[in-house]
């Protein structure tokens, strides 16, 4: 039986050298990259280094060095419902990131359309406000972009630009109340410590509507999975916006500005926008489409214990296991199919750690006779939204959530 | 018989319970200083490269 832990086309350096030529690899891998992985991206090339060269991080798929784009190796998701901090994916927009944070000097400013400008120390935040905890998935808007066909530009992620953590922090609402939001406030804008590499480039900033910012769920986290955040995951403070894509989860949060007008900064108005269409999908080349800021996540599910290409024994029960999340709400159910979607069966859901987190699921299935099979998984969330049968497409490669498939062979 | 001992059992249990709330250590942060790896390799190689 091929129930395995190491997944997704991990190949050794030796095999890659045989396939690609030693000279090419020696030139393209940084010296601190140790092995490689083939992400099997349809547009190729899919080979990436695995690196342990980033402090506070374990083995990660190196998508880019500066600013860091580090992808979680997929087999990590089979190990537990929470993604370990040292293998939680990393995504920055600008290359200038502080690498020396003194907690005694760090402060969070709250300003703008408020009664009182605040400069909060970490001590003020950790010990002066009620602490809250929440399990939530943090997923890059472009997670799985590398599977878009036709291919689109951007970080060519496989499925590992996501993670689930237990976040500890304070409610954004409590911080805003401490400053006193004035009547007429429209949005709240968040900025972190990363800096553009050139003077005229726009600082990375994201905004939420004032009611969303004050809903009591949006939080400022100082811990993930019971520990302080790794620096490259946003230490010391990170905005947590449950159910929304990670672009809003501003890292190294240092500035909160209450606005009395709609934010028009580049990162809200231009970047991170999606077609205002079902599934944020258009036809390649389609123009004159209304675009809106990306927002709520959509449901997804994955098999985590069996990878495409693996063999199982026919006429023998096989364990199928995975993770799902509902997006902006909980998971109502996960179904699987062993006959390319003609028939669907329910998998068993495991413990609910919170509606915004991963939900583990498992089942047993038996392939009746030797041959090739495709296993499909489909999550339906508690709002009744299910993963679509066909992939969406948009020019930024956002919000992929098609039903996932795993090709296996019964012998 | 068991009922006679119940209050004592309950008292003993309560007395031996850890004081979770008061004993909990407040969360503290520690300053961080790291060196990020450097490389001139900004992006993966494009289509058509050998890797």
Q: Give the separation between CA A364 and CA A316, rounded to whole angstroms.
A: 10
Residue with tokens 């012998």: A411
| Domain annotation for chain A: domains and CATH numbers | 10-91 (no CATH), 107-293 (3.90.420.10), 300-410 (2.60.40.650)
Q: pLDDT band for A30, please (50, 70, 90 cuts).
A: low
- Report whether pLDDT(A322) > 70: yes
List CB contacts (< 8 A) between B26 and chain A: 126-127
Closest-CA residue in chain B for A97? Answer: B36
Q: Among residues A161, A130, A132, which one has the least CA distance to residue A145? A: A161
| Closest chain A C-alpha to B39 CA, distance in angstroms | 6
DSSP conformation letters of A161-187: SEEEEEEEEEEHHHHHHHH-BPTT--E
A266 touches chain B (CB under 8 A): no
- Tokens, residue A258: 């209450």
Task: Please enumerate residues of B whose Cβ is less than 8 A from a Cβ of A.
Answer: 26-39, 41-47, 49-51
CB contact at 8 A, A159 and A391: no
Q: pLDDT band for A291, please (50, 70, 90 cuts).
A: very high
Would you tell me how many other CB atoms lie within 10 Å of the CB of residue B12?
11
| Closest chain A C-alpha to B5 CA, distance in angstroms | 37
| Closest chain B C-alpha to A216 CA, distance in angstroms | 21
Percent of chain A topping pLDDT 70? 92
- Closest CB to B29 among A21, A30, A122: A122
Q: pLDDT band for B10, please (50, 70, 90 cuts).
A: low
A147-160 pLDDT tens trace: 999 999 999 999 99
Question: What b/e readout covers A20-40, taking b as 16+ CB neighbours within 10 angstroms?
Answer: beeebbeebbeeebebbbbbb
Average pLDDT (A70-82) is: 98
Average pLDDT (B18-35) is: 72
Q: Among residues A373, A378, A374, which one has the least CA distance to residue A336? A: A378
Q: A97: number of CA atoms within 13 Å, CB side?
A: 28
pLDDT value, residue A43 = 84
Name the CA dihedral angle for A167, A169, A173, A177, rounded to a multiple of 10 degrees. 180
| Closest chain B C-alpha to A330 CA, distance in angstroms | 29
pLDDT value, residue B9 = 57
Degrees (nearest 5) of the Cα angle A383, A240, A303?
55
pLDDT value, residue A17 = 32
- Report whether pLDDT(A10) > 50: no
- Report whether pLDDT(B19) > 90: no
In this structure, what DSSP letter does residue A114 have?
B
DSSP conformation letters of A281-309: ---TT--S--EEE--B---EEEE-S--TT
ipTM over 0.85: yes
Stretch among A40-44, A116-120, A218-222 having the lowest mean pLDDT: A40-44
Q: pLDDT band for A125, please (50, 70, 90 cuts).
A: very high
Q: Which of residues 57-116 of A touch B (CB under 8 A)?
A: 63-66, 68, 97, 99-104
Kindly determine whether residue A235 and residue B35, on different chains, have CB atoms separated by under 8 Å: no
Kindly determine whether residue A126 and residue B28, on different chains, have CB atoms separated by under 8 Å: yes
Q: Max CA-CA distance within chain B?
A: 84
Kindly determine whether residue B27 and residue A64, on different chains, have CB atoms separated by under 8 Å: no
Kindly determine whether residue A24 and residue B51, on different chains, have CB atoms separated by under 8 Å: yes
Contacts of A134 (CB under 8 A, 6+ apart): A166, A167, A217, A219, A240, A242, A354, A356
Percent of chain A topping pLDDT 90? 88
A140-198 pLDDT tens trace: 999 999 999 999 999 999 999 999 999 999 999 999 999 999 999 999 999 999 999 88
Contacts of A104 (CB under 8 A, 6+ apart): B31
Q: Give the separation between CA A104 and CA A107, rounded to whole angstroms.
A: 8
List CB contacts (< 8 A) between A102 and chain B: 31
Q: How far is CA A236 from CA A161, A227, B33, in A?
A: 21, 11, 12
- Closest CB to A156 among B36, B39, B44: B44
A295-316 pLDDT tens trace: 999 999 999 999 999 999 999 9
Closest-CA residue in chain A for B49? Answer: A45
Higher pLDDT, A211 or A19: A211
Q: Among residues A222, A225, A182, A245, which one has the least CA distance to residue A353? A: A225
pLDDT value, residue A94 = 92
- Look at the alpha carbons of A113, A114, A116, A120 in this order and tell me if their dihedral is positive or negative: negative
| Closest chain A C-alpha to B17 CA, distance in angstroms | 23
Question: Exposure of A356 by Cβ count < 10 A (0-12 exposed, 13-18 middle, 19+ buried)?
Answer: buried
| Closest chain A C-alpha to B21 CA, distance in angstroms | 13
pLDDT value, residue B3 = 59
In a mutational test of the A interface, the residue from B21, B31, B48 whose CB has the highest number of chain A CBs within 10 Å is B31
């Amino acid at each position: 039986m091929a129930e395995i832990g190491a997944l997704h086309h991990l190949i050794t350096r030796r095999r890659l050298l045989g396939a690609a030529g030693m000279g090419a690899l020696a030139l393209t891998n940084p010296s601190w990259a140790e092995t490689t992985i083939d992400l099997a991206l349809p547009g190729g090339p899919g080979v990436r280094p695995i690196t342990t060269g980033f402090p506070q991080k374990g083995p990660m798929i190196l998508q880019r060095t500066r600013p860091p784009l580090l992808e979680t190796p997929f087999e990590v998701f089979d190990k537990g419902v929470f993604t370990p901090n040292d293998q939680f994916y990393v995504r920055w927009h600008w290359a200038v990131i502080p690498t020396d944070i003194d907690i005694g000097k760090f402060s969070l400013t709250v300003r703008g359309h408020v009664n009182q400008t605040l400069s909060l120390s970490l001590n003020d935040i950790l010990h002066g406000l009620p602490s809250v905890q929440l399990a939530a998935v943090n997923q890059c808007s472009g997670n799985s972009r590398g599977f878009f066909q036709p291919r689109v530009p951007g970080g060519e992620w496989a499925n590992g630009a996501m993670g689930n953590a237990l976040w500890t922090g304070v409610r954004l609402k409590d911080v805003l109340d401490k400053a006193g939001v004035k009547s007429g406030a429209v949005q709240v804008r968040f900025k972190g410590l990363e800096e553009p590499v050139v003077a005229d480039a726009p600082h990375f900033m994201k905004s939420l509507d004032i009611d969303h910012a004050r809903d009591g769920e949006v939080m400022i986290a100082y811990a993930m999975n019971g520990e302080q955040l790794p620096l490259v995951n946003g230490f010391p403070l990170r905005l947590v916006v449950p159910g929304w894509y990670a672009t809003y989860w501003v890292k190294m949060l240092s500035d909160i500005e209450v606005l009395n007008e709609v934010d028009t900064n580049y990162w809200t108005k231009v970047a991170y926008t999606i077609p205002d269409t079902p599934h944020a999908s258009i036809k390649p080349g389609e123009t004159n489409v209304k675009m809106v800021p990306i927002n709520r996540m959509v449901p997804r599910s994955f098999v985590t214990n069996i990878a495409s290409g693996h063999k199982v024994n026919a006429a023998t029960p096989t364990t199928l296991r995975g993770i799902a999340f509902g997006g902006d709400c909980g998971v109502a159910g996960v179904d699987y199919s062993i006959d390319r979607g003609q028939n669907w069966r329910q998998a068993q859901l495991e413990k609910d750690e919170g509606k915004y987190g991963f939900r583990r699921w498992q089942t047993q299935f038996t392939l009746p006779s030797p041959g090739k099979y495709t296993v499909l998984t489909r999550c339906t969330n508690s709002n009744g939204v299910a993963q679509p049968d066909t992939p969406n497409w948009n020019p930024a490669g956002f919000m992929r959530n098609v039903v996932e498939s795993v090709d296996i062979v019964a012998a | 018989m068991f009922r006679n001992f119940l209050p004592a059992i309950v008292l003993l249990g309560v007395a031996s319970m850890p004081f979770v709330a008061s004993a909990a250590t407040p969360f503290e942060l520690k300053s961080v200083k790291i060196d990020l790896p450097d490389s001139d390799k900004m992006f993966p190689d494009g289509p058509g490269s050998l890797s």
